């Protein structure tokens, strides 16, 4: 089954009910074949659409007629209406044996070499040792054969709308008919090892129970009449889900409905249950196993949407199922619940690296649903590794790891611990979070010992070198934060890129620190904040700004001595009513308002102003002298004109002239 759809919800069951039965049946088959002649078997198993009972016809042919000796045929313990037809005689038989191994004994002789055994499998009580189950929603049973190699065939008929599922040692042929489905296996070459587990399901007939846990809707789907299972699941879900949420410190991810289904399907391939991420469904078997149920419930949080590798999700599920059970055992539980929880409480065991099943967990993660031994080793080792980390760093630090994983927080935070990073949620991410957020000192050794392949360890050397360079640079970079592109490269395990980016950041950092020192020397506070560009790794925007401000400050420092230089009388004359501080103040005002170019222009104006004061003074003095000369000349001219006028008024000619003329005619004279 595809790993992205179904997650194995439980550690492998070392011995399930089915395994016990299969071993017993296999042993019986071997015995029967060695005790009698060569046998051919042709078997038909047909599910009754009305009752769910499985009708069985098993025809045995022998290579010669005659004595069969003792011939026992394994059957399910619930078999009824058992008959055998041989030599045109029909004989009723009885089922013998114990719950784990039941059989019928065929008549001791036949003359025509043919025996037809018929019986009905009506189902055993839930959670009994015998595997067959029959109820309105399910018909499930196991099939073995007794024929000699290559001389046996099996045919199964499942009426619609039952949905058939199966698992076994042989491949099957599937035929979809109009009203039923046929499963066939022909020429079985491994009769002593052959087993086929079959389940015919009609989930529409499952009983349903609904309830609410802290605002979350849970719906149980279970075999009709199995109220014991429904009570067990509801009681334990009500207890476990709030504790899981508290221990994991993340909200319950299920936003709609969590469906928990009683199903034989996990047992078909040796699992206790599983969680279907895309459907929000848990399927678990009929056994009342607290640890299995809590493990599956924890998969609501721990699935491949949190971490991709199987060993992480299964290790987390086992670890937190254990923590939830331990927390619950400290509360006031009913004796029945406490006993069940104590009996199924999982204890991590140190893995046996010398085992033939031992392998790097990264290899196990890529081989979902492997062999029994490989699965047992994978689950056990995953549990051990994650639980060791949990025990080392504690609940609070581990919760911080899970928060960071769930919300995509960086493993290399600067001032903002909630900074988001977009990297694959794989084992490298888990390692970084355990190391950088959880503060684990053991994660390196645990991963090298149990998780990594030989070729993966080279990455650890590159990582160590890159982190050392990063931490050294972070110390030198203060008070500036390490650029995000450096930390993003570390999160992505792109260590070569991280080192290159650190090298590029060195030049920008040197410029920033030099400008800070330059500004401090001028008692100047930069009006522009370049930390954003530096933090973003946008170094191309930083260099021109730093260069411009440096030149502006240098220019302002160059002209500052002019401000305090005493003016000569000639420069004072040239300044007149002007203000020598105006352009200095304008320059500082402009640089303080993020206009360094304008500040340099104002500085140039200040220099130009000082440079022109002497010439302006000379010009003003010259103008003043010229004006004075002109005024003197004009004054002298006016004086001369005045003197001339006065002289003319005082001469006789002028007086006689004044008496002459036509005016005399108007004078009345007397002698």
103 located within any domain: yes
Sign of CA dihedral 450, 452, 458, 464: negative
The pLDDT of 445-451, averaged and rounded, is 96
Sign of CA dihedral 184, 190, 192, 194: negative
H/E element, 428: helix 427-432
Report the pLDDT value the prediction gives residue 156, as an integer from 0 to 100: 97
Q: Does residue 74 share a domain with residue 133?
A: yes
130 located within any domain: yes
DSSP 8-state code for residue 205 = G
- Range from 160-174, 214-228, 576-590 that averages highest in pLDDT: 214-228
pLDDT tens string 29-82? 433 444 456 889 999 999 999 899 999 999 998 876 555 566 889 999 999 999
492 located within any domain: no
Report the pLDDT value the prediction gives residue 572, as an integer from 0 to 100: 62
Check whether 657 has a pLDDT greater than 90. Answer: no
CA-to-CA dists, residue 87 to 21, 106, 110, 245, angstroms: 32, 12, 6, 68
Q: Which of 290, 408, 271 is nearest to 340 (CA)?
A: 290
Q: Which of 199, 254, 198, 204 is nearest to 224 (CA)?
A: 204
531 located within any domain: no
Q: Does residue 163 share a domain with residue 223?
A: no
Check whether 427 has a pLDDT greater than 60. Answer: yes
pLDDT tens string 264-313? 988 887 788 888 877 889 999 999 999 899 999 999 999 888 999 999 99
Instruction: Give the per-residue SS3 of 597-659.
Output: HHHHHHHHHHHHHHHHHHHHHHHHHHHHHHHHHHHHHHHHHHHHHHHHHHHHHCCHHHHHHHH
Q: Does residue 380 share a domain with residue 235?
A: yes
Check whether 598 has a pLDDT greater than 70. Answer: yes
pLDDT tens string 181-203? 999 999 999 898 899 999 999 99
Q: Are 290 and 325 in contact (CB under 8 A)?
A: yes
Report the pLDDT value the prediction gives residue 387, as an integer from 0 to 100: 97
Q: Does residue 226 share a domain with residue 118?
A: no
CA-to-CA dists, residue 669 to 664, 665, 666, angstroms: 9, 10, 9
Check whether 440 has a pLDDT greater than 90. Answer: yes
Read off φ and ψ for residue 377, nearest 5 degrees.
Answer: -65, -45
The pLDDT-based confidence of 95 (bands split at 50, 70, 90) is very high
Report the pLDDT value the prediction gives residue 188, as an integer from 0 to 100: 92
Q: Does residue 210 share a domain with residue 171?
A: no
CATH number, domain containing residue 238? 1.10.390.10
Q: Does residue 263 share a domain with residue 309?
A: yes
- d(C-alpha 286, C-alpha 194), whole Å: 25
The pLDDT of 620-628, averaged and rounded, is 73
DSSP letter string over 432-444? Answer: HIIIIIS--SSHH
The pLDDT of 584-609, averaged and rounded, is 76
The pLDDT of 396-401, averaged and rounded, is 95
Read off φ and ψ for residue 145, nearest 5 degrees.
Answer: -130, 160
CA angle 522, 525, 530 (to 5 degrees): 120
The pLDDT-based confidence of 171 (bands split at 50, 70, 90) is confident
- The set of residues, in sequence order, having a beta carbon less than 8 Å from that of 264 and lying 6+ positions away, is 133, 138, 140, 165, 199, 201, 285, 286
Calculate the average pLDDT of the chain.
83
DSSP 8-state code for residue 284 = E
- Note down the domain range covering 88: 29-193
385 located within any domain: yes
Report the pLDDT value the prediction gives residue 430, as an integer from 0 to 100: 97
H/E element, 468: helix 457-477
Q: Does residue 161 share a domain with residue 284?
A: no
388 located within any domain: yes
CA-to-CA dists, residue 512 to 147, 479, 540, angstroms: 86, 11, 13
Place of tokens 């006016």: 638
Report the pLDDT value the prediction gives residue 629, as an integer from 0 to 100: 80
Q: Beta-carbon neighbour count of residue 123 at 10 Å?
A: 24
Last residue of a domain, one of 193, 215, 248: 193
CA-to-CA dists, residue 278 to 4, 208, 268, 281, 427, angstroms: 9, 21, 22, 8, 22
- Range from 5-9, 138-142, 336-340, 615-619 that averages highest in pLDDT: 138-142
DSSP letter string over 374-394? Answer: HHHHHHHHHHHHHHHHHHHHH
pTM of the predicted model over 0.85? no
The pLDDT of 481-485, averaged and rounded, is 90
For residue 345, give the 3-state DSSP assignment: coil
434 located within any domain: no
Check whether 14 has a pLDDT greater than 80. Answer: no
Report the pLDDT value the prediction gives residue 43, as an integer from 0 to 100: 97
Cis peptide before 479 (omega within 30 of 0): yes
The pLDDT-based confidence of 367 (bands split at 50, 70, 90) is low
H/E element, 47: strand 39-47
The pLDDT-based confidence of 611 (bands split at 50, 70, 90) is low
CA-to-CA dists, residue 602 to 544, 556, 574, 596, 605, angstroms: 20, 9, 20, 10, 5
Report the pLDDT value the prediction gives residue 570, as an integer from 0 to 100: 57
- What share of the chain in percent tops pLDDT 90? 49
The pLDDT of 649-667, averaged and rounded, is 53
The pLDDT of 509-524, averaged and rounded, is 80
Sign of CA dihedral 168, 174, 180, 186: negative
pLDDT tens string 536-590? 777 777 778 877 878 878 887 777 777 666 666 655 654 555 566 677 778 778 8
Check whether 607 has a pLDDT greater than 90. Answer: no
Q: Does residue 258 share a domain with residue 162?
A: no
CATH number, domain containing residue 121? 2.60.40
Q: Which of 304, 298, 283 is nearest to 241 (CA)?
A: 298
Report the pLDDT value the prediction gives residue 53, as an integer from 0 to 100: 96
DSSP 8-state code for residue 333 = -
Q: Are 501 and 537 in contact (CB under 8 A)?
A: yes
Q: Does residue 189 share a domain with residue 210?
A: no
Q: Which of 93-102, 348-357, 431-440 is predicted with the least confidence, judged by mean pLDDT?
A: 93-102
Check whether 164 has a pLDDT greater than 60. Answer: yes
Check whether 341 has a pLDDT greater than 80. Answer: yes
8 located within any domain: no
Q: Does residue 37 share a domain with residue 135?
A: yes
Q: State how many domains the chain has.
A: 3
Cis peptide before 161 (omega within 30 of 0): yes
Check whether 370 has a pLDDT greater than 70. Answer: no
Of residues 606 and 459, the one with the higher pLDDT is 459
- d(C-alpha 526, C-alpha 97), whole Å: 94
- Burial of residue 182 (number of CB atoms within 10 Å: 0-12, 13-18, 19+): middle
Q: Does residue 247 share a domain with residue 187?
A: no
Q: Does residue 189 share a domain with residue 296?
A: no
For residue 574, give the 3-state DSSP assignment: helix
DSSP 8-state code for residue 256 = S
Report the pLDDT value the prediction gives residue 201, as an integer from 0 to 100: 94
Last residue of a domain, one of 193, 220, 252: 193
- The set of residues, in sequence order, having a beta carbon less than 8 Å from that of 464 and lying 6+ positions away, is none
- Greatest Cα pair distance, the chain, in angstroms, is 214
């Amino acid at each position: 089954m595809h790993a992205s759809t179904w997650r194995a919800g439980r550690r492998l069951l070392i011995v399930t009910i089915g395994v016990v039965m299969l071993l017993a049946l296999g042993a019986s088959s071997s015995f029967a074949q060695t005790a009698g002649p060569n046998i051919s078997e042709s078997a038909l198993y047909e599910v009754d659409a009305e009752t769910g009972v499985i009708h069985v016809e098993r025809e045995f042919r022998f290579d010669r007629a005659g004595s069969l000796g003792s011939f026992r045929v394994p059957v399910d313990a619930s078999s009824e209406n058992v008959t055998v037809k041989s030599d045109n005689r029909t004989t009723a038989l009885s089922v013998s044996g114990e719950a784990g191994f039941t059989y019928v004994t065929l008549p001791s002789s036949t003359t025509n070499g043919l025996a037809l055994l018929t019986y009905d499998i009506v189902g055993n009580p839930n959670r009994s040792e015998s595997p067959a189950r029959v109820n309105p929603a399910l018909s499930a049973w196991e099939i073995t054969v007794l024929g000699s190699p290559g001389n046996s065939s099996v045919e199964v008929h499942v009426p619609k709308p039952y949905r058939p599922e199966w698992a076994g040692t042989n491949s099957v042929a599937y035929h979809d008919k109009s009203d039923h489905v046929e499963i066939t296996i022909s020429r079985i070459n491994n009769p002593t090892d052959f087993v086929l587990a079959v389940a015919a399901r009609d989930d529409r007939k499952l009983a349903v129970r609904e309830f609410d846990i802290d605002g979350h809707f849970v719906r149980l789907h279970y075999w009709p009449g199995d109220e014991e299972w429904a009570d067990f699941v509801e009681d334990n879900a009500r207890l476990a889900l709030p504790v899981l949420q508290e221990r994991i410190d993340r909200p319950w991810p299920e936003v709609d409905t969590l469906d928990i289904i009683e199903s034989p399907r996990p047992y078909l391939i040796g699992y206790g249950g599983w969680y279907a991420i895309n459907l929000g469904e848990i399927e678990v078997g009929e056994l009342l196993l607290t640890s299995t149920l809590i493990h599956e419930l924890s998969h609501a949080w721990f699935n491949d949407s949190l971490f991709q590798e199987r060993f992480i999700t299964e290790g987390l599920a086992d670890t937190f199922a254990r923590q939830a059970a331990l927390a619950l055992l400290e509360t006031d539980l009913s004796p029945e619940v406490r006993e069940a929880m104590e009996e199924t409480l999982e204890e991590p065991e140190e893995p046996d690296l010398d085992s033939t099943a031992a392998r790097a967990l990264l290899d196990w993660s890529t081989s979902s649903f492997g062999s029994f031994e490989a699965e047992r080793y994978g689950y056990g080792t995953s549990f051990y590794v994650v639980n060791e980390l949990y025990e080392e760093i504690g609940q609070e630090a581990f919760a911080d790891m899970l928060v960071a994983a769930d919300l995509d927080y960086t493993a290399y935070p600067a001032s903002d611990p909630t900074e988001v990073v977009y990297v694959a949620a794989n084992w490298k991410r888990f390692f970084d979070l355990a190391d950088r957020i959880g503060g684990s000192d053991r994660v390196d050794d645990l991963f090298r010992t149990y998780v990594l392949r030989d070729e993966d360890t080279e990455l650890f050397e590159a990582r160590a070198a890159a982190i050392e360079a990063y931490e050294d640079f972070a110390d030198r970079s203060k008070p500036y934060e390490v650029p995000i592109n450096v930390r993003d490269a570390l999160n992505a395990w792109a260590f070569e890129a991280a080192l290159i980016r650190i090298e590029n950041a060195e030049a920008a950092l040197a410029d920033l620190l030099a400008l800070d020192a330059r500004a401090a020397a001028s008692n100047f506070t930069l009006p522009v904040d370049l930390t954003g560009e530096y933090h973003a790794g946008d170094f191309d925007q930083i260099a021109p700004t730093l260069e411009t401000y440096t030149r502006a400050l240098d220019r302002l420092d160059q002209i500052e001595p002019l401000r305090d230089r005493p003016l000569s009388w000639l420069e004072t004359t040239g300044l007149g009513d002007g203000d020598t501080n105006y352009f200095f103040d304008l320059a500082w005002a402009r640089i303080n308002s993020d206009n360094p170019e304008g500040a340099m222009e104002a500085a140039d104006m200040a220099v130009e102003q000082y440079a022109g004061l002497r010439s302006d003074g000379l010009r003003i003095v010259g103008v003043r002298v010229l004006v004075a000369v002109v005024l003197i000349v004009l004054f002298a001219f006016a004086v001369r004109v005045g003197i001339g006028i006065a002289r003319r008024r005082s001469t006789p000619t002028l007086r006689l002239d004044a008496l002459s003329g036509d005016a005399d005619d108007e004078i009345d004279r007397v002698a």
